[in-house]
Amino acid sequence: MEPLITIDDIGRKYVIGAEVIHALKSVSLTINKGEFVALMGPSGSGKSTLMNILGCLDTPTKGKYVLNNIDVSHMTDDDLAEVRNKEIGFVFQTFNLLPRNSALDNVALPLVYSGVNKANRELRAKQALENVGLGHRVDHKPNELSGGQRQRVAVARALINNPSIILADEPTGNLDTKTSVEIMGLLEDIHSKGNTIILVTHEEDIALHAHRIVRMRDGLIEKDYLNEHIAKVERAVV
């Protein structure tokens, strides 16, 4: 399998007054193309810091991060923004939709930054919404949609640029159980089409949708293992 993400001896420290906090001490990790990985850990484990580095929202204090053959370890903010737009699709717990914009405009937004003309933006955004079952809701604003529908809009937006990675940060955190199952089913379907997904969650039942689970504690990877339940099912199918 081909590595999509390689991080080697990544560390991240923050200086707050006279105190130095080592949010990440030394983390090395490889994620291959097409994997579905859950990143777990208690508060203070470093998983949010690692997520921010994987998502090019932050840079490490030490170590190396190669994303899709690009060394992003010490890029400028502008260069990181360009990498984020091309390589990473984000799905957040709070949806992060623009309240005054339609579902169509929210989904098309990353294409604006990519310089795609309006006609193509709208065409691609409509198709993306149809792919997540919201072709009939293109003109609706976020306050006219349910929580599950808003998250589907966010998933469509994450996919619009055909990114290398879908980074889902607690994507079911604001949803009821039934809707959470629907959204995880959607992510599984997206993964089955060859997309790489990194899921950040503290919920055990949500993590079990992933094929691989990485547990963190005290700024280090505590455990990195395959989801045996899914592995057994896949072996039985073969």
Q: Which CATH number goes with the domain that contains 207?
A: 3.40.50.300
pLDDT band at 235 (very low <50, low <70, confident <90, very high): low
Whether pTM > 0.75 for this model: the answer is yes
Domain that holds residue 181: 3-237
Band of the pLDDT at 26, cuts 50, 70, 90? very high
pLDDT of residue 1: 78
pLDDT at 233: 58
User: pLDDT above 70 covers what percent of the chain?
Assistant: 97
Chain length of the chain: 238
Find the DSSP H helices in the chain: 47-54, 77-87, 103-113, 118-131, 147-159, 177-192, 204-207, 228-237
Q: What is the pLDDT of residues 181-232, one digit of tens each?
A: 999 999 999 999 999 999 999 899 999 999 999 999 999 999 999 998 775 5
pLDDT 10s digits, 64-88: 999 999 999 989 999 999 999 999 9
SS3 content of the chain, % helix, strand, coil (to 5): 40, 30, 30
Residue 89 CA to chain centroid, in angstroms?
A: 6
- pLDDT band, very low/low/confident/very high, at 114 (cuts 50, 70, 90): confident
CA–CA dist 3, 105 (Å, integer): 34
Q: What is the pLDDT of residue 230?
A: 72
Q: pLDDT-derived band of residue 63, with 50, 70 and 90 as boundaries?
A: very high
* pLDDT per position as a tens digit, 118-165: 999 999 999 999 999 999 999 999 999 999 999 999 999 999 999 999
Classify burial at 23, counting beta carbons within 10 Å of its beta carbon; exposed 0-12, middle 13-18, buried 19 or more.
buried
Number of domains in the chain: 1
Is residue 51 scored above 70 in pLDDT?
yes
pLDDT for position 113:
84
Alpha-carbon distance 227 to 222, whole Å? 15
